[in-house]
Structure 1
Amino acid sequence: MAEPLRILVAEDSETDAELVQRELKRGGLDFQSRRVQTESDFRRELDEFQPHLVVSDFSMPQFNGRTALAIARESRADIPFIFISGTIGENVAVDMMKAGADDYVMKNNLARLLPALKRELREAEVRRARRLAEERLKESEAGLHRAQVMAKIAHVVTGLDGSFERWSDTLPQLIGVEPEKMPRSTREWLDLLHPDDREGFRATAIEAVRTRMRKDVEYRLRRADGAWSQVRQVIEPLQSQADAEGGTRWFSTLQDVTEHRLAEEKILRLTRVYAVLSGINALIVRVRDRDELFREACRIA
C-alpha cells in the first residue's frame, strides 16, 4: 500500500489550514500534513518531515512565502511548491512563478487546489526521473570515456560529404593534438596517414560506401609529435540515418594497436629464434662434420 502523501503547510491561520485539509480530503486524497508559521519551523520540518509537497500562504506575520520558496528551492529543488493566498496579486504571482513556484491558488477558489497538486506531483516525478536518467547517462558516458582511454579507443561520426560531425574526447588524444586542432574531414584525416597506406584506406572506404557494409582497415598514422602509430579503424554505416537519395552517414571506431602489433612482432621474432635454436640443437646431435654443421646451421638461420 502506498504511503500517505506528506504535505507541509506554511500558514499562520489555523482556520485556513483546516479549509485546505478539508478540500483535499473531500477530493479523496490520502495525506498527512504539518502546519508551520515560522522560518525555523519550516526549515526543521523540511528536514524531519520530508514532505512530498509544500503549500504556502504568501503573507504571514512571522514568515512569508517568498522566503519559504527560496528555502525550499535551496534545500530540495524538485519539491512542488504551491502558493495559496487571498492577497497575492497577479504581478506578484508571476514573479513567484519565475522564482520557482509551481502554481498559485486563490483562497476563494480552493477547488483548483487538488487538480493543481496532482499535476505538480506528476511533473515533479517526471523531473526526478529525467534527472536520474541524466545522472545515469553521465555515469555511463564517464565510464565509457575511462574505458576508451584505457583501451586507446575513439570514435567519429562522418557526414555524407566526408565531414566529421562529432567525435569522442579521446580522438584528439589518439593523434596527440589539442581538440581545436582536430582534422575536420576524411580528406584532412587522410593527410595523417603514411603515404603507402593511403590507397588502401581509400579503397576500403569506397568499398564500404558501395556495399554499405562494415569494413575494417589498418594503417600507420603520424601523430602530432612525429611518431607513427598503428591504427585499426572499423567503419560502419548508420543505416537509420540514410537520406532520401540513399546517402549514408558513418560511425567509425578507431583503436591505437601499436603496442599490440609490437608485441606480436616480438612474439614472432622470439618464435623464430626458438625455431632456429631448436634446429641447431637437433643438428648438433645428428651431424658430426664441422663444415656440414656450419652449412646446415646457416641454412636454418
Structure 2
Amino acid sequence: MSKPLHVLFIADVDAPIIPEMVEELRRADYEVDGGRVDSLAGLRAALAQPRWDVIICDYGMAAFSAASALAFLRESEHDIPFLLASDTNQPQEMRAALSLGANDLIRRSNLPRLVPAIEREVAAARVRAARTLTEAALRQAETRYQQLVDQIPVGVHIMALDANSSTLSISPQIERMLGFSQAEWVADPQLWQRQIHAADRERVLAELKHVYTPGAKPYIGEYRMLTRDGREVWIRDEALLIRDPAGQPLYLQSLKMDISERKRAEDEAQALEQKMSEWVKDLEQSHREVSLLDEMGARLQACFSLAETYPIIADFVQLLFPPEAGALYLMNEHTGRFEQTTAWGRTPPGEPEFGIDDCQALRRGKLFAADIPPMCQHVTDPINHRSLCAPLVAQGETLGILHLRLRRGTAVFNQPESIRSMLSESKQKLASTVAERLALVLGNLRRQAMLRAKIEALPETVANGAPTARVEAASAETSTVVPPKRITVGALTLNVETFELTVGDKVVNPTPVEFELLQFLMRNAGRVFTAEQLLQEVWKYPPGTGSQEVVRAHVRNLRAKMEPNPRQPIYLRTNGRFGYTISLEEQTSEKSGEAS
C-alpha cells in the first residue's frame, strides 16, 4: 500500500528536478501529494495550510532564492524539514548551500539519497513534535500545580507535647480538609496519629522526633492522611517547636496544606514523560527492524543456493530477536519431516527434525505463540520454555518453520518484560514478516534448484539448430512453446542454459529470481506487464497476494547490472509508469523515459 507524503516544492515552473524527485519517491512506494511555489507570496499562502511533511527547494531558482525561503520558514516558526536540491558538484557551492541552514542537500546526480534523507528528517520532526506536545503538557501541569498551591489555604494544628501529640486546637481549614470537627480532634488524643496512612505512619513519627532536639530545624515532610470518609489526602506538613522567652518548650505548631492536586499533577507529568520515552523507544526500534529487514532481503537476493542463505538468516534473525534462541526448519520432500538447517542463540533448539503434527503452527496453518499449554510437541521440555513458531508459506505451499524460544531460569527470562516482549503483538507481527520474506526467497531458490537439476539430468542433443533437451525441459516448466537455447532482443542475449545475460560485450550474471523475470520479459518483448501481472505470471502468486515492491526491487537490481545508466534505462523500460517491458525499439543512449 502506498504511503502518503505531502511535499511542497519551491522551484521554477520548468524545473526538471521536480518530476525526477516525484518519480524517485514513487519508486519507494510513496503517494506524493505535492504543491509548487516560486515566490514569497506563494510560500506564505502554502504554509497557511498545515499539511506539509517536507519542503524541497531548488537552489538555483531564477527569481526567488533558497535563502529567502528558508529565512521566512524559520520566522514563521514552522518545524518542517527543509531540503535543498542542486545540480552542483562543486564543494564550495555545496558548502554555501548547506550554510543556509537546510536539513540536507540532495544533488540531482545522487537522487537515491532523497528517500532516506526525507524519511530521516520526517521521523526527526515527528519526534520533535511529540516532545513539544509533552513539554507543553508538562508546563500546563506545572502551571496548574502552581495555581493550586497559590489558592490552597494552610491549616494550623496545635499539638501538646505528650506521647500522642494530642490536639490542642485546629483551624477551620483542617476541619474541611479531613472532615473531623475541632471537638473530635480535642476529644481523641490519638486521632492525628491514627489518621496518618499506615504506610507512612512509622516514618512520619520517627522524623517528627527530631523537632524536640535542641537547635533542631523545623520538620518538613509530605505524607498521606485519611479523611473521615476514607479518602487519601496528601499533606505537606511544616512543624516547629514553640518555646517561651526562657527557652522552655510550650507546644508543637504544625502548618498543614492539602497537596493532593499537586501530587496528581506530578503523577500525570511523570506518566506523560514515561509515555514519551516509550514512544521514542518504539520508534527507534521500528526503524532498526525495518533497516535490518531491508539489509537481510538485499543479502538474500544475492544468494544462488539455499545453503548460502542459512548463515545470513541466522545472523539477521538473531539481531531482530536478540533475547531469543531459534532455528530454521525446512521440509524434506522425501520424508515429509521438517529438518533443522541452521540455529542460533545461547541455547539453540536441539531437536534435529520433527513431523507436521508435532507443531501447532503447522497444524493450524498460522503463527503460534505460547507460554502455557498446549505447547508444540517438538519443543523439548516445554514447561521450561516460551516458544513462537511462524510457518514459511510460498504460493500456498508450506516450506518450513521459523522457530523462536526463550528458556526459563535464564537471566533474560526472569525479566517479566522479556516474556511480554517475546509474545507481544508487535513481535508476532515482526516474526510473520520475517517468515513471509524468507518463504519468498527460499521458495524461489528451491524452484531454481529443481529446474536446474531437471535440465542437467537430460542429455544434450542438438540437431539442425533444434532446441536442446535441456531447454525443452526448462520450457515445460513455464510454457507450452519450446524456447530457443538463447533469447536475443536487440543488444540483449539471454542464455537459458548458463543463466548468463550478454549486453553487447558485457556478461551479466542475474540471480535466479532475476533470471526468471528477465526470461519472461524477453520472451514477451514489446509487451507491457504491470507489477501485479508479473507476480502472477512469473512467480504464480494468487491475485492480490504478492507485494509489488518485490517486482520493483528486482527491476532496480536488473537495471543496475544491465543498463549503461540505470536512471535512464534503454532496455528494461517503464511504460507510462504503469508497467515494465523489454523494448523492441532501437536501443540508444538517449533518455527513453523515467525509471521506476
**1:199 equivalent among 205, 209, 213:** 213
Aligned-partner Cα distance in 1 for 2:23–2:137:
41
Aligned-partner Cα distance in 2 for 1:121–1:97:
18
Aligned-partner Cα distance in 2 for 1:125–1:108:
29
**2:255 equivalent among 231, 235, 245:** 231
Give the Å deviation of 1:130.
0.7
For these two proteins, the number of residue pairs brought into alignment is: 178
The answer for the alignment partner of 1:4 in structure 2 is: 4
User: Is the 8 Å Cα contact of residues 11 and 35 (structure 1) preserved in structure 2?
Assistant: yes
User: Is the 8 Å Cα contact of residues 17 and 35 (structure 1) preserved in structure 2?
Assistant: no
User: Is the 8 Å Cα contact of residues 201 and 217 (structure 1) preserved in structure 2?
Assistant: no
CA spacing shift, 1:143–1:52, aligned 2, 3 Å: same
Aligned-partner Cα distance in 1 for 2:215–2:55:
63
Q: Which consecutive residues of structure 2, in runs of 5 or more, have no partner in the other structure? A: 155-210, 220-234, 243-252, 259-596
CA spacing shift, 1:204–1:37, aligned 2, 3 Å: closer
Q: Which has the higher contact order (CA 8 A, sep 6+)?
A: 1
CA spacing shift, 1:142–1:2, aligned 2, 3 Å: farther
Aligned-partner Cα distance in 1 for 2:150–2:92:
53
1:243-295 per-position Cα deviation (integer Å, ceiling 9, x unaligned): xxxxxxxxxxxxxxxxxxxxxxxxxxxxxxxxxxxxxxxxxxxxxxxxxxxxx
Give the Å deviation of 1:37.
1.9
User: Is the 8 Å Cα contact of residues 88 and 94 (structure 2) preserved in structure 1?
Assistant: no
Aligned-partner Cα distance in 2 for 1:95–1:146:
50
Indicate yes or no: 2:239 matched with 1:218: yes
Give the Å deviation of 1:87.
2.9
1:141-163 per-position Cα deviation (integer Å, ceiling 9, x unaligned): 1111111122267xxxxxxxxxx
User: Is the 8 Å Cα contact of residues 220 and 231 (structure 1) preserved in structure 2?
Assistant: no
Aligned-partner Cα distance in 1 for 2:41–2:218:
71
Aligned-partner Cα distance in 1 for 2:31–2:65:
27
Give the Å deviation of 1:53.
1.0
Structure 2 counterparts to residues 79-118 of structure 1, below 5 A: 79-87=80-88, 90=91, 93-94=94-95, 97=98, 99-118=100-119
User: Is the 8 Å Cα contact of residues 218 and 239 (structure 2) preserved in structure 1?
Assistant: no
Aligned-partner Cα distance in 2 for 1:105–1:50:
22
Give the Å deviation of 1:231.
2.9
Moved more, 8-17 or 59-68: 8-17
Aligned-partner Cα distance in 2 for 1:20–1:233:
63
Structure 2 counterparts to residues 1-301 of structure 1, below 5 A: 4-12=4-12, 13-48=14-49, 50-87=51-88, 90=91, 93-94=94-95, 97=98, 99-151=100-152, 199=213, 202=216, 218-219=239-240, 231-232=255-256
Aligned-partner Cα distance in 2 for 1:52–1:6:
5
Using structure 2 for the length normalisation, give the TM-score: 0.27
Give the Å deviation of 1:6.
1.0
Aligned-partner Cα distance in 1 for 2:139–2:65:
38
1:193-248 per-position Cα deviation (integer Å, ceiling 9, x unaligned): xxxx663894996xxxxxxxx99662268xxxxxxx853499xxxxxxxxxxxxxx
Give the Å deviation of 1:96.
5.4
Q: Secondary structure at the match of 1:143?
A: helix
Task: Give the number of the structure whose residues are more often helix, by fraction.
Answer: 1
Aligned-partner Cα distance in 1 for 2:102–2:131:
19
User: Is the 8 Å Cα contact of residues 57 and 83 (structure 1) preserved in structure 2?
Assistant: yes
User: Is the 8 Å Cα contact of residues 4 and 32 (structure 1) preserved in structure 2?
Assistant: yes
CA spacing shift, 1:135–1:201, aligned 2, 3 Å: farther
CA spacing shift, 1:97–1:136, aligned 2, 3 Å: farther
Aligned-partner Cα distance in 2 for 1:23–1:148:
57
Aligned-partner Cα distance in 2 for 1:136–1:126:
15
1:97-135 per-position Cα deviation (integer Å, ceiling 9, x unaligned): 565421111111011000000110000000001111111
User: Is the 8 Å Cα contact of residues 218 and 241 (structure 2) preserved in structure 1?
Assistant: no
Aligned-partner Cα distance in 2 for 1:98–1:150:
51
- Match of 2:106, as an amino acid? V
User: Is the 8 Å Cα contact of residues 237 and 255 (structure 2) preserved in structure 1?
Assistant: no
Q: Which consecutive residues of structure 1, in runs of 5 or more, have no partner in the other structure? A: 154-196, 206-213, 222-228, 235-301
Aligned-partner Cα distance in 1 for 2:8–2:42:
11
Aligned-partner Cα distance in 1 for 2:96–2:153:
52
Give the Å deviation of 1:50.
3.3
Aligned-partner Cα distance in 2 for 1:127–1:66:
23
Q: Secondary structure at the match of 1:25?
A: helix
Q: Secondary structure at the match of 2:83?
A: strand
User: Is the 8 Å Cα contact of residues 218 and 231 (structure 1) preserved in structure 2?
Assistant: yes
Aligned-partner Cα distance in 2 for 1:140–1:202:
35
Q: Secondary structure at the match of 2:16?
A: helix
Identity %: 27
User: Is the 8 Å Cα contact of residues 204 and 215 (structure 1) preserved in structure 2?
Assistant: no
Aligned-partner Cα distance in 1 for 2:2–2:112:
25
Aligned-partner Cα distance in 2 for 1:215–1:46:
49
User: Is the 8 Å Cα contact of residues 238 and 254 (structure 2) preserved in structure 1?
Assistant: no
Aligned-partner Cα distance in 1 for 2:19–2:236:
72
User: Is the 8 Å Cα contact of residues 219 and 232 (structure 1) preserved in structure 2?
Assistant: no
Give the Å deviation of 1:19.
0.7
- Match of 1:199, as an amino acid? T
The answer for the alignment partner of 1:180 in structure 2 is: none
Aligned-partner Cα distance in 1 for 2:31–2:77:
23
User: Is the 8 Å Cα contact of residues 236 and 256 (structure 2) preserved in structure 1?
Assistant: no
Give the Å deviation of 1:38.
2.1
Give the Å deviation of 1:95.
5.7
User: Is the 8 Å Cα contact of residues 5 and 31 (structure 1) preserved in structure 2?
Assistant: yes
